[in-house]
Amino acid sequence: MSRAILQVMISGRVQGVGYRAWLESQAVACGLEGWVRNRRDGSVEALFAGPPNHVADMVALCRHGPPSARVDSVTSETASTDELNLRRAGETFSVLPTV
């Protein structure tokens, strides 16, 4: 079974609107591993790992976000297991501190 790991940057009105909690819920429902965090520049950064089609579906969901969000852009790039290991020990999907 193949596995994809993508790091995603989401910009727009994505902080203070429940985006991280929404994204965590969606990722867990899709059976993905990874993490999400706010960035000081106002964007949200996430990493998703799992079956390629599930990861692609999650990136597509990021383009919409929760109802109160306004997503201006979503970019993604391949990531490694090293980045995946930023999540908290014992958690499948983590909400990390702002960087």
User: Of these residues, 13, 38, 53, 87, which one is catalytic?
Assistant: 38
Give me the CATH code for the 4-88 domain, please: 3.30.70.100
Identity of the amino acid at 91: E
Please list, in sequence order, all residues whose beta carbon lies within 8 angstroms of the beta carbon of residue 94, skipping any fewer than 6 positions away: 34, 35, 36, 86, 87, 88
Active site annotation includes 38: yes
Per-residue pLDDT, 89: 93
pLDDT digits (tens, 9 = 90+) for 3-58: 999 999 999 999 999 999 999 999 999 999 999 999 999 999 999 999 999 999 99
Q: How many CB atoms lie within 10 A of CB 39?
A: 15
Kindly name the residue from 13, 20, 63, 85 that is annotated as catalytic. Answer: 20
Domain boundaries, the chain: 4-88
pTM of the model: 0.94
Do 15 and 71 contact (CB within 8 A), yes or no? no
* SS3 assignment, position 36: strand
Instruction: Tell me how far apart the alpha carbons of residues 96 and 75 are, in angstroms, rounded to a whole number.
Output: 19
Instruction: For residue 13, indicate whether it is catalytic.
Output: no
